[in-house]
Structure 1
Amino acid sequence: MITAFLVDDEAHALHILELFLGQIGEVQVIGRSNNGKDAIVQLQSLKPDVLFLDIEMPEMNGIELAEVVRNMQPDVQIIFVTAYDQYAISAFEQAAIDYMLKPLERERLSKAIARVRKEVNRSEVASAVQPLSLENVQLEQPKLLINMLGPFVVSTGGGSRLKWRTAKEKELLAYLALQGDNRAHRDIIIEDLWPEENYQKAKIYMHTCVSLLRKNLKQFGFHHIVKYENERYFLDMSQIDIDLYHLKQHLKQLKAGEIDHTQMEQVLSHYQGQLLSSEDYVWASQEAENVDKIISQWHLTLIESNLNVQQYEQVIHKAEQLIMFSPYDEELYRYLMQAFQGMGKNDQVHLVYQRLMRKLTELDIMPSVRTKEIYENIAKSS
């Protein structure tokens, strides 16, 4: 017997739905409510197989209620009952969440119940399998790998990559991954990801993306990674491994002086490219600049250290690599000139200075006094 809980602010709609469910059979209605807040209270103790949720309700609509309930009961099946317009229906179809249009039709309701029954049976079979011990689960459960430095890639421990059904589903995961331990308010996410959309439409689109993302992750064995609480979304960090946060942890160790120069080189080698370089996410641009700036500062520290101990070839190699990303950074050219001077290659010093002049000419500026002094002192000694 399938257990159901019904939520609709119209008493007549609740009555019709319960009547039809009784006629279909095999469904027991264990609770009903005419508003979201009361439904949440009742669902603290009730564990239905399926929720029938009206969308258009005052104070808390069905979509918002669904997110709260999913956090309480992640495996509950949800069917929306709606008189909403076509864009909402399309969104629900994409998210593979069942829906029914008002006025209700018993035949359509019967098909929805058949779908719920199939899911309930599948869950019962899965739970009947002898579970592994908690210790084994902890040892064998792989983490979701999220690479944000360079191209955005999400993969499993086995190497399989997630494929995206929509660009926004991908963007939402990138957005939440960037938050790390922080919890992002629903309205802020909407402002950043759907800035041009009507607020009510944007909420529908966001719910669709969350549903798509959860379903996508579930297919790879990752359950309940996307969390919702107090109108805020966040990721279960215990199930994921993000390269950006490894880098940030190492950078904290650098700042605290807990890592020597050899280890510093290893840390910096993990920086495989600009944050989310393959995507054009406006909301990520400031963080990308911040990370680039920090990495550049540590590279310069390392280059200066190499220069001080006369490791000139390393200085040249690192400076040339950084120039590829920052072709107008005078300081890098100054390090190059000093390294070539230390190696007795003054002809290369002149070439580096000429390269710099060509770059600065593109910006219609002249080299700094400091750069001129270094070049002139080298020229005098040659």
Structure 2
Amino acid sequence: MKYYQVTLLVRGNRRNIILKANDRADAISKAKKDYQGTLIRIKEISAPIDATIKEFFSQFRTTVANKKVQPKNLIAAIRQLAVMTNAGISVHDALNEIAGATNDAKLKEILTQASENINSGLSLSETFKRYRYDVGGITLAMIELGEQTGNMADALASLADILEEIQENVQKFKKAMRYPMITMGAMAIAFTILIMVVVPKFKAIFEKFHAELPLPTKILLGIEHVMSNYGLIVLVGLVFFIMLILYLYRNNENFKYKADKLMLKTYLIKDIIFFATLNRFSIVFTELVHAGIPIADALDTATSMIDNAVLKEKLEAVKVSVSRGVSLTEAFKDTGVFENMIIQMISAGESSGQLDSMMRKVTDYYRMRFNYILDNMSSYIEPIMLAIIAGLVLLLALGIFLPMWDMARAVKAH
């Protein structure tokens, strides 16, 4: 949306009005519709400061407060929709029935709105695109598949299976992270208590002897000073910082791209994102190819549901290359994303005319790699956790005992 300053002549008086519109023609249309007068001049201007601030806080509140539909409720709704459409019930009636039965307020809103939009002539995929954040890219891709093939019931049934698999992986991830999170949380509480209770007592002793303090002790005393005097400010600032990062990630494409690029270079996170993304991509792409969708269209749909901006950019290059006549094997190879074994499997499937069958094997491979990471999550995290705990214990030990030893030696010397 852009801002325009429109100059009108209303009853002999010159008026300047600021409008928000998609383009110049839209601004002219709004000016003529909302104001009675003669249009004299229109020019694009930068966004007013007050409007920018107001829009920022509005989007910020929406971003922070917005919650996704509960996965189990979405899966149940899709299962019901698949069964009802397979039984010959219209999508409009099925959506109304499911909306009335669900207890999820957000899902009820989406289904009710979808029913109304379908009644007014929109497709189910067009309706759900407005709720992409809530229902996810895979849901959109599979609904589009059902519309393209004319077999919505099978597409929805496959979608429910895919979402159930993803939800199982999410539960595995949470289960794997539970022990490290509890351990680190307990360590953080213990460290905070030591800083707030024990360190101040030693601080009084150190100040009494006016001894030169070593660096670890200075660090501990600095942390204690900040937590004692600015603890609440630091906590509020940390919460605001996290919320700001989330806002920028969801609303600023440049920031999101840099963040996604950084995550693909971060230990463990890079493997989780990489294999989860390629697993989802291959699942959707395989389903589309198996349904007889042209490869270029299948790539377009499968790529659209990828969240990581860096991987999405590389896979979009595959779509462009294929549309220009490059073979799928060469297009995948040029991305540098797929390992040689995968390229050979795709090549074999493409040359034999059994691409969908070979892509299922590729999907199974990425599923296996992703599940392996989840199943061994604790073994990946333990070294990091031990290093953090060891660092905190070492800091406390050196910070407290080093100056005590120095003072003991000073007393003996006297």
Instruction: Please give the range of the TM-score, normalised by the shorter of the 2 chains.
Output: under 0.3
User: Given the two structures, how large is their TM-score scaled by the length of structure 1?
Assistant: 0.22
The answer to which structure has the higher helix fraction is 2
User: Given the two structures, how large is their TM-score scaled by the length of structure 2?
Assistant: 0.21
The answer to which structure has the higher strand fraction is 1
Higher relative contact order (CA closer than 8 Å, sequence separation 6+): 2
